[in-house]
Amino acid sequence: MILEGKRLVITGVITKDSIAWHVASRALEEGASIVLTSFGRARRLTERAAGRLSSDVDVLELDVNRVEDLSALTDSLRDRWGAVDGALHAIAFAPEDALGGRFMTAPAESAAAAFQTSAFSFKALAASLSPLMGSGSSLVGLDFDASVAWPVYDWMGVAKAALESVSRYLARDLGPHGVRVNLVSAGPLGTVAARGIPGFEGLASLWQSQAPLGWDVEDPGPVADTICFLLSDYARGISGEIVHVDGGFHAVGAPTQG
């Protein structure tokens, strides 16, 4: 029960296949109290997914790009719990014309949309929650290795590079208040969002052939467990870190020879 007594905000749940849903499920098993966030047409899907968790879980309104929603979230959580112990940022978006091999033709407004929703939003969420977070609190974001250029990922890859930088600056500014900030760089998983990226299957196949530990694109468990660890007190000395949960793929330059 490594999260017993923790009050956590989980963003990014759309369906039961979402990585964030598995984090929510695992966090409940580990003793946490949680709320989910969603907005617009996706909220009904989120509420349906919440109904498949082991406990009743509320879904709060949050479009992370709306200042009004962020302010309302702070007020709602203050009324509900008085304080927040941790949050998962599992929010990313890039317009269709910024993905799938269209790096050179993507317009500036599409690149800006990818940055705002996928990277700046981590700062926006942190600023909303930090007044409720005390020493020992933890923020975790979902990443995809931005140290290299990937096929088809294009401006989302650039946005993830920005997310990694945002995380470091958040760790710098929130650390004196006892708040930890880390990212989990996950291998590709078969979520609805990932499968919407043109060429995802080809990208995912690289992990299956090259990761030293192997990689199952249908198993989000290792990623969810690591996020719960980072939200727990067991990770109390870790901040500004990017933890790779990818079967070791990031550490090798070529497939292992059998």
Radius of gyration of the chain (CA): 17
One-letter amino acid identity for 92?
A
Question: Considering only CA atoms, which of 152, 157, 164 is closest in space to residue 114?
Answer: 157
Strand order across the beta sheet in which 242-245 lies:
59-61, 33-38, 7-10, 86-89, 138-143, 180-186, 242-245
Point out the catalytic residue in the list 123, 160, 169, 234: 160
Candidate list 6, 16, 123, 153, residue with the active-site label: 153
CA distance 105 to 147: 22
Angstrom distance (rounded) from CA 134 to CA 34: 17
Residue 59 pairs in a beta bridge with 36
* Residue owning tokens 């309302």: 72
DSSP labels for 227-245?
Answer: HHHHHSGGGTT--S-EEEE
State how far the Cα of 213 lies from the Cα of 211, in Å rounded to an integer: 5
Query: Does residue 160 carry a catalytic annotation?
Result: yes
6 an active-site residue? no
Residues with a catalytic annotation lie at 153, 160
